[in-house]
Amino acid sequence: MSVASIDVPRWTGPLPTRDEVAKMIDHSLLRPELTPADIQAGLLIAREHNVASVCVRPADVAAVVSGGVLHGTTVAIGTVVAFPHGSSTTATKVFETAELVAQGAEEIDMVIDIGRLRAGDTAFTRDEIAAVVQAAAGRPVKVIFENTYLTQQEKVAGYQAAEAAGAAFVKTSTGFAAGGATAADIALMRQTVSAAVQVKAAGGVRTLDALLELNRLGATRFGATATATILDDLEERRRTSTI
């Protein structure tokens, strides 16, 4: 399922540098139909633009680490756990995390058990996230909530549980559900968690304007497939800007 692009007005404020924006982007390589050649092409994009990380499918981690395309760069190798539905058992999520870390994954984006949070079992949500955080052995864990399925109260409870469990980020969505990141959710996330927890937007962040507006609201990392388009647009605007 393709999530609609976030529709925001054209950004009129000061423009950050290309490097500043690049280091906000997790270049996403998660679509199920991607071939090894597609993954290789995506890694070259990530290397060229020196993004914060690539986020690859679990089955691709070992090959990405051993392939060496990102060696000598500051681009981290990230992956996902229980993606995209979050329906694995806690033990499975812990095993998957530990296996991927052993293979060289440097960042973990995990999907919560959405139904358990909707049922009000925030203790389960907290404890499951904590177990994954422990298995990640110091690697940043970004907790995906799939906000489109949650009420305001459920969102707040989930974000608080993630912080209590030691998560590094709260994240809006997988990009594979009916809805993705929204300005309202980014603002709520930033208001709910302390400065110790960062906010990641994913799902529909396909333009520079969307990225800059959500960054203004508090998001510091963005899952994106339109990395080159976003950064090329920034470069053109900086070239012609009078601000």
Residues annotated catalytic, as ranges: 109, 171, 200
Q: Would you say 173 and 147 are in contact if contact means Cβ atoms under 8 Å apart?
A: yes
Measured CA distances, 128 to 48, 102, 162, 165, 226 (Å): 36, 20, 9, 8, 32
- Give counts: helices (H), strands (E), the chain: 10, 8
Residue 80, number of CB atoms within 10 A of its CB: 24
CB 42 within 8 Å of CB 23: no
Contact 103, 136 (CB under 8 A): no
Q: Write out the H or E segment, with its range, that includes residue 111.
A: strand 107-111
User: Alpha-carbon distance 46 to 28, whole Å?
Assistant: 9
- Residue whose entry in the numeric block shows the structure tokens 């009078």: 242
CB atoms under 10 Å from CB of 59, counted, come to 9
Residue with tokens 């914060």: 52
